[in-house]
Amino acid sequence: MSASREVEKELGIILPDLYKNILDNSPFSKYEDSSIYYLITDPQRLIEMNKAYKMNPDDLTDIDDGRFFGRLKRILFHGSQKRILAQRKKHFKEWVESKKFVIGNNGGEEIFFIYLDKPKCPVYVHEIETGNSFYKFDLISRYINDIDVFDDL
């Protein structure tokens, strides 16, 4: 099964054709920093980074099994149920409902994403620390060219 098909099937989404082509015919070796961070080509990593598409924001069973120690672990590590549910619903609305799809990161403070409903796949940046997102490249091919230049340095 192709990488794009595996991601689509696991997350229940449809990737833009241009991105599918790039994912299935990556211009980078899977051992280069480019594909480890900036343009992730490993389907399992993409699925993990976009797992919100599989999650029910009202379900906390992944962090709280309902037993005493499960609840204690949730409270100690994650906080109150009300706060966690509010965070998950906010994330779901901001990312899943708006069809944002993470394609890579810089190994630090920035996440690169596309919108699943934009066929030319412009690339955006989300700053983890500030929570701000902004438009970066009008075409994913320009993003890839920028990565390629970065790798040559």
Question: What's the confidence (pLDDT) of residue 44?
Answer: 92
Q: Distance of CA 99 to CAs 55, 67, 94, Å?
A: 14, 35, 8
Question: What's the confidence (pLDDT) of residue 115?
Answer: 96
Tally the residues of the chain: 153
Which residues does the chain have with pLDDT short of 50? 151-153
Question: What's the confidence (pLDDT) of residue 27?
Answer: 67
pTM over 0.85: no
Question: What's the confidence (pLDDT) of residue 63?
Answer: 67
Domain count, the chain: 1
Domain hosting 17: range is: 3-152
Question: What's the confidence (pLDDT) of residue 12?
Answer: 95
Question: What's the confidence (pLDDT) of residue 6?
Answer: 96
Bridge partners for 102 per DSSP: 113
Distance CA 69, CA 64 (A): 8
